[in-house]
């Protein structure tokens, strides 16, 4: 039982805390001052009733008060994609603003200050072909080509160096350490902190700790976005002429251990804007594809954490073994390895009954050669694992599981990186990856192109009138979630874990119709029975993490449903989508994308033909059935 000791002194003086409280007021006011610079002013809609009645509910929500911001190009997100878009738009002289759910520079995958592997292009034509081949034919050729044409020789490492990284990995004699790839080369030791520092140095306007909960739509066009300032619960409206969606992958969806899903991703990665785009009429695609590493799952508190764990991937895989100590992958030549094959190999082992007790396999780090060859991020965990957690990888095999680090589910885009919603661009949009996994480099090149397109759109498309009804509706929706009183309440984290469990059961490295159907059934049940009685137990507006969780759940559940439905529909194996009941790639029926659309609250799935430019579908089939050759 909890024991309360309100106002107890306990060594910390009351005065000290009052001082802190004052400081807080100061800092929040500071944030507002920054906001007001760009704001059209805080408005209270006086024509509306004092309270908004939620249809079909007795919940009363307060009279809406909005903090209104105004910009031309609105960038949603504060990760790799968002900062690249912001730097490009800023360089074009655009009036822009970024909105980040987390503390900027510390949020999303981007906010983890790890040793990034970054890829630069050496030959744009070969890199384009390779990316297309790797997508197993599903990429939108026009969109992918547009990105490579935009930056045919994108030396990302030079950009990154100019933003502050000084010491990429070196060989023993001081040469730059490069990993060659077709048309590309990869270097290590990019650190993302420099990117956020650069945004601050340039003076780009970032509105942080603000969670976007909906797009601002008018007559079918997007004219901004809205959401909650988490530290105070204030409702913010962002007006804009063009919007860029860069809110990262859907990775917090996949299972639940004790503090995280089976993902190295961030709790910020709840796929909000993908779900929001879907709800606003956009088609999303790529839902059945994801990307993975193999990462240790014990101690539970560090499970699946790339930075807190030890693991392996499609670049370093020789030390992966099954339960009988068979290093079955080590003979696969590096040029033939890719994430899809990697995931499928693990899946096969597990199906053969040679996996580990928790549905993974093992890594063997007992030799110095393996230890020395580990990525620095993993290597730095070896000592603390032993000293803090009593796990000695030099003595014992380590169990590792397939986690999710990226998802491909995003709004479908065209060669202008424009989504189905006029005014909304998506640099990581569905169509750029196909069955291939995403990563920093392509995100950055595409974001720069998306920014150029968005800046142009903002110049060409004025907004003539503005109606506040969608804002009032959204305000009512999110405040209803906070103030809701229900008979048989269930807390948001419990609903979330049910969603995550359903995703984990069906969307793992091995998929089949039965588990997908059963998870879809469970998702439909959660939507019907659990979401309406989801109850935020503490009604505070100040950094209410439960309220945030509850709002995110509405997004997460739609994305998991879309992922399960698309995975069920694709009755073949391609990329990391491995169907144990359809083990072969089937180009006759499945050289196409699957799109998901919401129609009257129901998901409608369609086959979407691939968009061709350089290769006809027949040429694509031949091309991808062969090994990659120049």
Ligand X SMILES: Cc1cc2nc3c(=O)[nH]c(=O)nc-3n(C[C@H](O)[C@H](O)[C@H](O)COP(=O)(O)OP(=O)(O)OC[C@H]3O[C@@H](n4cnc5c(N)ncnc54)[C@H](O)[C@@H]3O)c2cc1C
Partner from another protein, ligand X, none contacting 17, C-beta within 5 to 8 A by type: another protein
Nearest distance in Å: CB 394, another protein: 17
d(CA 438, CA 445): 12
x/- string (CB under 8 A) for another protein, residues 323-362?
Answer: ----------------------------------------
Instruction: Spell out the residues 6+ positions from residue 590 whose beta carbon is closer than 8 angstroms to its own.
Output: 570, 571, 572, 574
Nearest distance in Å: CB 609, ligand X: 27
Nearest distance in Å: CB 525, ligand X: 26
Q: Which residue number places its CB atom closest to ligand X?
A: 79
d(CA 235, CA 468): 13
- Choice between 16 and 336, CB closer to another protein: 16
- Choice between 180 and 335, CB closer to another protein: 180
Partner from another protein, ligand X, none contacting 101, C-beta within 5 to 8 A by type: ligand X
DSSP-derived letter for residue 71 is: -
Nearest distance in Å: CB 606, ligand X: 25
Enumerate residues 14-43 that contact another protein by CB under 8 A.
14, 17-18, 20-21, 23-28, 30
- Choice between 276 and 620, CB closer to ligand X: 276
Q: For 272-414, where are the E strands, in sequence order?
A: 284-285, 290-291, 294-296, 311-312, 320-321, 361-363, 398-402, 406-407, 410-411
With contact defined as beta carbons under 8 Å apart, do 415 and 449 qualify?
no
Chain position carrying tokens 């929040």: 28
Nearest distance in Å: CB 533, another protein: 17
Nearest distance in Å: CB 433, ligand X: 10
Partner from another protein, ligand X, none contacting 10, C-beta within 5 to 8 A by type: another protein
x/- string (CB under 8 A) for another protein, residues 389-418?
Answer: xx----------------------------
Partner from another protein, ligand X, none contacting 29, C-beta within 5 to 8 A by type: none
Enumerate residues 195-234 that contact another protein by CB under 8 A.
196-198, 200-201, 231
- Choice between 120 and 515, CB closer to ligand X: 120
Nearest distance in Å: CB 428, another protein: 19
d(CA 94, CA 432): 25
Size of interface with another protein, in residues (CB under 8 A): 98
Is there binding between residue 386 and another protein (CB under 8 A)?
A: no
With b for 16 or more beta-carbon neighbours within 10 A and e for fewer, the 100-125 pattern comes to bbbebbbbbbbbbebbbbbbbbbbbe
Is there binding between residue 3 and another protein (CB under 8 A)?
A: yes
Nearest distance in Å: CB 250, another protein: 16
Angle formed by the axes of helices 545-569 and 272-279, nearest 10°? 70
- Choice between 53 and 537, CB closer to another protein: 537
Phi, psi of 594 (to 5 degrees): -110, 130
- Choice between 259 and 524, CB closer to another protein: 259
Is there binding between residue 300 and another protein (CB under 8 A)?
A: yes
Nearest distance in Å: CB 316, another protein: 18
DSSP-derived letter for residue 438 is: P
- Choice between 356 and 445, CB closer to ligand X: 445
- Choice between 354 and 493, CB closer to another protein: 493
Enumerate residues 522-561 that contact another protein by CB under 8 A.
536-538, 540-546
- Choice between 355 and 470, CB closer to ligand X: 470
Is there binding between residue 255 and another protein (CB under 8 A)?
A: no
Structure tokens that stand for 507 in this block: 């969307």
Is there binding between residue 581 and another protein (CB under 8 A)?
A: no
Instruction: Spell out the residues 6+ positions from residue 29 whose beta carbon is closer than 8 angstroms to its own.
Output: none
DSSP-derived letter for residue 611 is: P
In terms of DSSP H, where are the helices of 586-626? 587-590, 617-625
Is there binding between residue 493 and another protein (CB under 8 A)?
A: yes
d(CA 128, CA 125): 5
d(CA 74, CA 227): 13
- Choice between 110 and 216, CB closer to ligand X: 110
Partner from ligand X, another protein, none contacting 288, C-beta within 5 to 8 A by type: none
Is the Cα torsion angle 440, 441, 443, 449 positive or negative in sign?
Answer: positive
* Binding region for another protein (CB under 8 A) out of 157-165, 364-372, 404-412, 588-596: 157-165
Nearest distance in Å: CB 45, ligand X: 23
Partner from ligand X, another protein, none contacting 246, C-beta within 5 to 8 A by type: ligand X
With contact defined as beta carbons under 8 Å apart, do 559 and 409 qualify?
yes
Comparing CA positions, the residue from 461, 548, 23 lying closest to residue 240 is 461
With contact defined as beta carbons under 8 Å apart, do 404 and 254 qualify?
yes
**What separation in angstroms does the CA of 285 have from each of 177, 255, 563?**
36, 22, 9
Chain position carrying tokens 């190999």: 345
**What separation in angstroms does the CA of 563 have from each of 271, 290, 315, 556, 599?**
12, 10, 27, 10, 17
Q: Which of 162, 358, 571, 619 binds another protein (CB under 8 A)?
A: 162
x/- string (CB under 8 A) for another protein, residues 177-196?
Answer: ------------x-x-xx-x
Nearest distance in Å: CB 11, ligand X: 36
Interacting residues toward ligand X by CB under 6 A: 76-82, 99-102, 107-110, 112, 114, 116-117, 211-212, 246-248, 264-266, 268-269, 272-273, 306-307, 405-406, 428, 438-441, 443
With contact defined as beta carbons under 8 Å apart, do 96 and 246 qualify?
no
d(CA 122, CA 116): 19
- Choice between 94 and 440, CB closer to ligand X: 440
Is there binding between residue 299 and another protein (CB under 8 A)?
A: yes
d(CA 477, CA 276): 13
d(CA 295, CA 368): 19
DSSP string, 349-360: HHHTT-S-TTS-
Enumerate residues 77-106 that contact another protein by CB under 8 A.
102-103, 105-106
């Amino acid at each position: 039982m909890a024991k309360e000791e309100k106002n107890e002194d306990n060594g910390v003086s009351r005065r000290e805390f009052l001082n802190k409280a004052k400081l807080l007021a100061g800092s929040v006011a500071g944030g507002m001052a920054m906001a007001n610079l760009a704001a059209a002013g805080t408005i209270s809609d006086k024509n509306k009733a004092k309270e908004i009645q939620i249809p079909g509910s007795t919940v009363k929500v307060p009279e809406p008060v909005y903090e209104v911001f105004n910009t031309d190009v609105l960038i949603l997100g504060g990760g790799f994609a968002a900062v690249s878009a912001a730097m490009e738009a800023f360089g074009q002289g655009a009036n822009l603003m970024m909105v980040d759910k987390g503390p900027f520079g510390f949020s999303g995958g981007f906010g983890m200050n790890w040793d990034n592997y970054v890829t630069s292009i050496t030959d744009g034509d070969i890199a384009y072909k390779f990316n297309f081949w790797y997508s197993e034919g599903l990429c939108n050729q026009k969109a992918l080509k547009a990105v490579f044409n935009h930056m045919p020789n994108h030396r990302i490492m030079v950009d990154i160096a100019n933003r502050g990284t000084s010491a990429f990995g070196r060989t023993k004699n001081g040469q730059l350490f490069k990993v060659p790839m077709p048309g590309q080369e990869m270097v290590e030791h990019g650190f993302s902190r420099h990117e956020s520092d650069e945004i601050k140095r340039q003076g780009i306007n970032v509105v942080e700790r603000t969670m976007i909960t909906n797009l601002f739509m008018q007559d079918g066009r997007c004219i901004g976005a809205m959401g909650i300032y988490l530290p105070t619960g204030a409702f913010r409206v962002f007006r804009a002429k063009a919007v860029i969606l860069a809110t990262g992958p859907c990775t917090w969806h996949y299972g639940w251990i004790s503090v995280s899903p089976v993902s190295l991703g961030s709790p910020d990665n709840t796929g909000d804007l993908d779900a929001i785009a879907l709800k606003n009429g956009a088609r999303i695609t790529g839902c059945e594809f994801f990307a993975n590493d193999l990462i240790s799952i014990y101690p539970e508190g560090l499970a699946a954490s790339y930075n807190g764990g030890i693991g392996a991937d499609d670049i370093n895989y020789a030390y992966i073994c099954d339960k009988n100590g068979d290093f079955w992958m080590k003979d696969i030549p590096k040029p033939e390895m890719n994430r899809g094959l990697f995931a499928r190999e693990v899946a096969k082992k597990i199906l053969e009954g040679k996996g580990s007790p928790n549905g993974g396999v093992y890594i063997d780090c007992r030799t110095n050669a393996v230890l020395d060859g580990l990525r620095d991020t993993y290597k730095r965990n070896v000592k603390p694992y032993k000293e803090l957690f009593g796990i000695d990888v030099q003595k014992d095999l380590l169990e590792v599981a397939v986690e999710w680090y990226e998802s491909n589910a995003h709004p479908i885009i065209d060669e202008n990186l424009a989504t189905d919603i006029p005014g909304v661009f998506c640099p990581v949009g569905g169509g750029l990856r196909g069955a291939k996994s995403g990563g920093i480099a392509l995100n950055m090149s595409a974001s720069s192109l998306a920014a150029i397109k968005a800046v142009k759109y903002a110049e060409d498309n004025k907004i003539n009138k503005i109606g506040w009804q969608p804002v009032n509706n959204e305000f009512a929706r999110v405040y209803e979630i906070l103030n809701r009183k229900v008979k048989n309440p269930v807390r948001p984290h419990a609903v979330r874990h049910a969603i995550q469990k359903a995703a984990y059961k069906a969307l793992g490295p091995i998929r089949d119709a039965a588990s997908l159907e059963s998870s879809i059934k469970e998702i439909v049940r959660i939507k019907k029975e659990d979401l309406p009685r989801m109850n935020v137990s503490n009604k505070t507006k100040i950094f209410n993490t439960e309220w945030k969780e509850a709002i995110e759940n509405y997004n997460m559940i739609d994305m998991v449903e879309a992922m399960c439905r698309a995975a069920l529909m694709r009755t073949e194996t391609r990329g990391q989508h491995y169907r144990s009941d359809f083990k072969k790639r089937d180009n006759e029926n499945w050289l196409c994308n699957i799109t998901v659309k919401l129609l009257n609250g129901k998901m409608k799935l369609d086959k979407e033909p691939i968009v061709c430019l350089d290769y006809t579908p027949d040429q694509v089939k031949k091309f991808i059935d062969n090994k990659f050759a120049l």
